[in-house]
Structure 1
Amino acid sequence: MAYAEKVFKVRNGVRTKQFTWRCKYKAPPGHKPPWLTESGFPTKKIAEDWGAEQEAAIRAGTWIDPAKLKTPFGKWVEIWKTSVHKRPRTQSSRAYLLDKLLLPEWEYKPLAEVNNVFNVQSWATRVSKPLGPHDPDTVAQARSLLSTILSAAEDAQYIPVNRLFGRRILAGADHVDDGEEEVWAQPDEAHRMYQRFGGVQGLMVLTDCYLGLRWGELTGLHKDNCLIKKIDKVDGKPFVRHVIRVDGRLGALHEDPIELDEAGLAAWHAAEDARLEMCRTKGWKANRRKTPKSRLEVYLGPPKNKYSAREVDVPEFLARLLDQHIESWPHEHPFTTPSGTWWLRGNFGRELRPVADGREAIPRKRGYAGREGWEPILKGFTMRGARHTADTWMKEDRVDRALRFGSLGWVPKDIEGTYEHITPEMRRHRLDALTARWRRGRRVMLRSVA
């Protein structure tokens, strides 16, 4: 049974008359030591009541060892890392959030202090713009990761409950709606970007606006999964359509930063030494580059989730363009660079910027042919905006929700999604609507040129 005893304060090595109360209570069976203590109580009754609560929690199986509550956050993170396995890109993103936001603030603080909504709210406000250095979206991701880590601590009985779970913590610019949203295109704008870009890049933009594939699904597409012929029946008559299939095993290109280990760092330094030696022998001036923390691994793998493996119907005009492109394209994957290497998201985005945002003309001069200026078509447009475009067009054309979700690789988790199904008539309606958009976009563009 719990009991209390006096603890006298000592000043300059001499015991004073001032004292507090310390509680001693029976530890769970098998715990060492068999008795536990907690100090700092102002009265004997408060100390005994607290001890009685601990013993009641032990009997109920809900007791949390105070030593675990005092575990530093950084120490628990190392334990937590051994219990989770995620894709390399997810691991890299988590490592960044831990190194830049979470560990600098919480590494040496006990879990009991981290597991406090007010403390986390204050931290989020302090580090978010305009008060702090970090974008509010990045801070929101760090808050979400912090809650995930604390939920694991709850499961491991390091804390009684994750107090951040289900709590919306607003900070900084989160309180203000800046009105920004993803830029999506009208049919004529998509057609103008297609013509201005030209080549495989222009076809990539056009295809994504009409089909809404994810970036990795578009760049990882294999020609064997393009324009597969399907025959349905509508009103008893054959309905022929062509589809692009997103393969469930190798249907997406992944760009994952992989943290460099000792062997990877040694290989990088060896390659850098060789580069510097080559520059020195050729008389070129070169400085040693900063040592990277990670390398980018590019590979084919499964799409975002098992539901993303799907078939997307292709309208007739786009099927013709894709067929002509694949017929003359020398590579297995239709949407690589002309040399056959993978398009990376950042590289393609840099090439897209002048096409969508416009560019200034550079006059011709000696040694340089100059270039023409481009008026903006759609400032801020991205390949993610192309996916927004496809969804927006389908909603505007009143495409049935089942087909819209199926085309984009979404899974409705409500009761309606369980019972609704895609019919050939739905597919024909969507293809007819997209063809009408293509024709309308060309007409508008031609009128604007004239």
Structure 2
Amino acid sequence: MAYAEKVFKVKNGVKTKQFTWRCKYKAPAGHKPAWLTESGFPTKKVAEDWGAEQEAAIRAGTWIDPAKLSTPFGKWVEIWKTSVHKRPRTQSSRAYLLEKLLLPEWEYKPLAEVNNVFNVQSWATRVSKPLGPHDPGTVAQARSLLSTILSAAEDAQYIPVNRLFGRRILTGADHVDEGEEEVWAQPEDTQRLHQRFGGVQGLMVLTDCYLGLRWGELAGLHKDNCLIKRIDKIDGKSVVRHVIRVDPKVGSLHEDPVELDEEGLTAWHAAEDARLEMCRAKGWKANRRKTPRSRLEVYLGPPKNKYSAREVDVPEFLVRLLDQHLERWEHDHPFTTPTGSFWLRGNFSRELRPVADGRDEIPRKRGYAGREGWEPILPKFTMRGARHTADTWMKEDRVDRALRFASLGWVPKDIEGTYEHVTPEMRRHRLDALTARWRRGRRVTLRSVA
């Protein structure tokens, strides 16, 4: 049974008459030491009541060892890392948030202090722009990761409950900066982007606006999964449609930063030495580059989730354009660079910016042919905006929700999603609506040119 004892204060090595109370209570069976103490109580009754609460929690199985509560956040993170296995992309994103935002603030602080809504809100406000260096969206991701880590600590009985779970922690920037809405396109915009971009890039933008594939699904698409024939029965008649298939095993291109291990660093330094030696041999001036912490691993793998492995119906006009492209395209993947290498998201985005945003004219001069100026078509449009475009169009065309979810690879989480199914009539309605949009876009574009 818990009991209390006096603890006299000591001043200059001499015990004074002032004292507080210390509680001693029996630890769970097998715990070392067998008795635990907690000091600093103002009265004997308060100390004994607190000890009785601890013993009651031990009997109920809800007691948290004070040693675990005082575990430094950084130490718990190392334990937590061994219990989770995520895709390399997720691991690298989490490593960045830990290194840049969470560990600098919380690494040596006990879990009990981290698990405090006021402390976390104060930190989030301090590090978010305009007061701090980080974008509010990045800080929001760090807050979410912090809550995930604390939930694991709760499961492992290092803390009694994750106090951040389900709490939206606002910072000053959150109230004034809601973020910009993703830019989506009208059919005539996609026509102009397609024409100005030209080639495989223009076809990629057009295809994504009408089909709504994720970037990795588009960039990693294989010829074998293009324009596969499917036959439906409508009113007793056979109707042929063509689909693009997102393969469940290799249907998406992944770009994952992977931390360099010792072997990788050795290989990088060897390559850098060879580069510097070549520059010296040619008489070029070259400085040693900064040692990278990671390398970008590009590979084909599964799409985002099991619902992302799907077939997306292709309207007839796009079937013709893709078929013409595939006939003359010599590479296995139809949406690569002209040399056959995969487009990286950042590289393609840089190519897209002047096409969508416009660019200044550069006059011709000696030694330079000049450059044509472009008026803006759709400023800030991105390939993510193309996916927004596809969904917006389907919503406006009243495409059934079951087909919208199936086309975009979304997870049907509610009871309606469990029971609804896609029919041939739904598919025909969507394809007819997309064809009508294509024709409307061509009319508007031709009128503007005339």
Distance 1:339 1:206, change over 3 A: same
In the alignment, the residues of structure 2 paired with residue 208 and residue 383 of structure 1 have an alpha-carbon distance, to the nearest angstrom, of 7
Partner of 1:98: 98
In the alignment, the residues of structure 1 paired with residue 87 and residue 248 of structure 2 have an alpha-carbon distance, to the nearest angstrom, of 16
CA shift, 1:176, in A, is 2.4
2:257 aligns to what SS in structure 1? strand
Partner of 1:418: 418
What is the correspondence of 1:347-358 to structure 2 with a 5 Å cutoff? Answer: 347-358=347-358
2:130 aligns to what SS in structure 1? coil
CA offsets, 1:81-111, max 9 Å, x none? 1111101110000000001110111111100
The one-letter amino acid paired with 2:259 is E
In the alignment, the residues of structure 2 paired with residue 351 and residue 15 of structure 1 have an alpha-carbon distance, to the nearest angstrom, of 77
What is the correspondence of 1:346-385 to structure 2 with a 5 Å cutoff? Answer: 346-385=346-385
Partner of 2:327: 327
2:278 aligns to what SS in structure 1? helix
The one-letter amino acid paired with 1:343 is W
Partner of 2:118: 118
In the alignment, the residues of structure 1 paired with residue 352 and residue 112 of structure 2 have an alpha-carbon distance, to the nearest angstrom, of 48
Verify: 1:165 aligned to 2:165, yes or no. yes
1:289 aligns to what SS in structure 2? coil
In the alignment, the residues of structure 2 paired with residue 245 and residue 223 of structure 1 have an alpha-carbon distance, to the nearest angstrom, of 10
In the alignment, the residues of structure 2 paired with residue 135 and residue 177 of structure 1 have an alpha-carbon distance, to the nearest angstrom, of 10
Partner of 2:193: 193
The one-letter amino acid paired with 1:445 is T
Contact 1:212 1:388 in 2 (8 A): yes
In the alignment, the residues of structure 1 paired with residue 122 and residue 270 of structure 2 have an alpha-carbon distance, to the nearest angstrom, of 46
In the alignment, the residues of structure 2 paired with residue 365 and residue 79 of structure 1 have an alpha-carbon distance, to the nearest angstrom, of 63
Stretches of 4+ moved more than 3 A in 1?
none
In the alignment, the residues of structure 2 paired with residue 63 and residue 286 of structure 1 have an alpha-carbon distance, to the nearest angstrom, of 62
1:291 aligns to what SS in structure 2? coil
CA offsets, 1:218-262, max 9 Å, x none? 011000000001111111111110000000000000000001111
In the alignment, the residues of structure 2 paired with residue 29 and residue 238 of structure 1 have an alpha-carbon distance, to the nearest angstrom, of 74
Partner of 1:443: 443
In the alignment, the residues of structure 2 paired with residue 285 and residue 443 of structure 1 have an alpha-carbon distance, to the nearest angstrom, of 56
2:71 aligns to what SS in structure 1? coil
Partner of 1:78: 78
The one-letter amino acid paired with 2:145 is L
The one-letter amino acid paired with 2:290 is K
In the alignment, the residues of structure 2 paired with residue 296 and residue 178 of structure 1 have an alpha-carbon distance, to the nearest angstrom, of 31
RMSD of Structure 2 on Structure 1 (CA): 0.8
2:21 aligns to what SS in structure 1? strand
Partner of 1:27: 27
In the alignment, the residues of structure 1 paired with residue 292 and residue 45 of structure 2 have an alpha-carbon distance, to the nearest angstrom, of 59
Q: Which moved more, 1:366-375 or 1:140-149?
A: 366-375
Q: Which moved more, 1:233-242 or 1:353-362?
A: 233-242
Unaligned 5+ segments in structure 1 are none
Partner of 1:307: 307
CA shift, 1:413, in A, is 1.2
The one-letter amino acid paired with 1:194 is H
Partner of 2:280: 280
In the alignment, the residues of structure 1 paired with residue 110 and residue 78 of structure 2 have an alpha-carbon distance, to the nearest angstrom, of 14
CA shift, 1:179, in A, is 6.4
Unaligned 5+ segments in structure 2 are none
Partner of 1:141: 141
In the alignment, the residues of structure 1 paired with residue 417 and residue 65 of structure 2 have an alpha-carbon distance, to the nearest angstrom, of 45
CA shift, 1:292, in A, is 0.8
CA shift, 1:178, in A, is 4.2
Partner of 1:150: 150
2:134 aligns to what SS in structure 1? coil
Partner of 2:132: 132
Distance 1:179 1:73, change over 3 A: closer
In the alignment, the residues of structure 2 paired with residue 66 and residue 58 of structure 1 have an alpha-carbon distance, to the nearest angstrom, of 12
CA shift, 1:177, in A, is 5.0
2:102 aligns to what SS in structure 1? helix
Partner of 1:175: 175
Contact 1:136 1:172 in 2 (8 A): no
CA shift, 1:130, in A, is 1.2
1:154 aligns to what SS in structure 2? helix
Partner of 1:290: 290
In the alignment, the residues of structure 2 paired with residue 146 and residue 411 of structure 1 have an alpha-carbon distance, to the nearest angstrom, of 25
In the alignment, the residues of structure 2 paired with residue 113 and residue 158 of structure 1 have an alpha-carbon distance, to the nearest angstrom, of 12
In the alignment, the residues of structure 2 paired with residue 95 and residue 41 of structure 1 have an alpha-carbon distance, to the nearest angstrom, of 41
Partner of 2:430: 430
2:445 aligns to what SS in structure 1? helix
The one-letter amino acid paired with 1:313 is D
1:429 aligns to what SS in structure 2? helix
Distance 1:77 1:269, change over 3 A: same
2:37 aligns to what SS in structure 1? strand
Partner of 2:220: 220
Partner of 2:231: 231
CA offsets, 1:236-294, max 9 Å, x none? 11111000000000000000000111111111111111111111111111111111110
CA offsets, 1:127-158, max 9 Å, x none? 11111111111010000000000000001110
In the alignment, the residues of structure 1 paired with residue 170 and residue 412 of structure 2 have an alpha-carbon distance, to the nearest angstrom, of 28
Contact 1:115 1:164 in 2 (8 A): yes
In the alignment, the residues of structure 1 paired with residue 337 and residue 172 of structure 2 have an alpha-carbon distance, to the nearest angstrom, of 41
1:425 aligns to what SS in structure 2? helix
CA shift, 1:188, in A, is 0.5
CA shift, 1:371, in A, is 1.0
Verify: 1:2 aligned to 2:5, yes or no. no
Verify: 1:390 aligned to 2:403, yes or no. no
TM-score by length of 1: 0.99
Identity value in percent = 90
Distance 1:360 1:279, change over 3 A: same
